[in-house]
Chains A and B, each alone.
Chain A
């Protein structure tokens, strides 16, 4: 079964607004990652947050991690039309099994 569950499944906003996506997971993790997928393309790594970190920033991206609630959020500030894509969280278990497990993704549409 999927380790990560994302919410919402789809999100539509206007350019310039902020977009927030949430991810919940089930088991203990070593790290949690976010990936972006443009239509018809492979996934691209965005950001990684380790289990001992609570917040991380990269450009317009802000990721938070709450291990007590087994949840993470990805915030994209000042969104652009080019941010239109699907976003996936992925978790690497603390048992170090060599498997990165993905959630079902959030589809973001940014309207110009």
Chain B
């Protein structure tokens, strides 16, 4: 997980509360991603960013928003957490763009439980 840090690593919250997960990279990569991982679904893309203030939706973006005010930080916000958002969230950076390949490096994950 060198060069990419997620915080918090674990969080328990209650339904209806806002939650923000942070992804920090030291690699100065342009592309950053947020995925969620659930049993039976594998990894599903929530949002991604292709530069400062440039973001786009993934396949499961409802209920989530993101912000990227500087290259190194990509924030994922759950405005009003629901139990269906209990999951493990992974941030990733695209480490291979310069070679034309789109290889991802993942963070260690943030386990979120919504009660």
Q: Which residues of A does B touch, CB under 8 Å? A: 1-2, 30-31, 33, 35, 40-45, 48, 88, 90, 92, 98-105
Contacts and interface: CB of A to CB of B under 8 A. Distances in A.
Contacts, number: 59
Contact of A104 (B42, B90, B105): B42
B58 interface: yes
Interface in B7-56: 31, 33, 35, 40-45, 48, 50, 56
Contact of B35 (A31, A41, A102, A103): A102
16 contacts: A2-B42, A33-B102, A35-B104, A41-B109, A42-B107, A43-B92, A45-B104, A92-B102, A98-B48, A98-B50, A98-B102, A99-B45, A100-B33, A100-B104, A102-B44, A104-B40
A26 to B, nearest CB: 13
B58 to A, nearest CB: 7
Given A98-B48, A99-B48, A102-B43, A45 B103 contact: yes
Given A42-B1, A48-B101, A88 B108 contact: no
Contacts of A43: 43, 90, 92, 104, 106
B102 to A, nearest CB: 5
Interface of B: 1, 31, 33, 35, 40-45, 48, 50, 56, 58-59, 90, 92, 96, 101-109
B45 to A, nearest CB: 6
B48 to A, nearest CB: 6
Contact of A98 (B56, B101, B108): B56
Nearest to A30: B102
A30 B1 CA distance: 26
Contacts of A105: 42
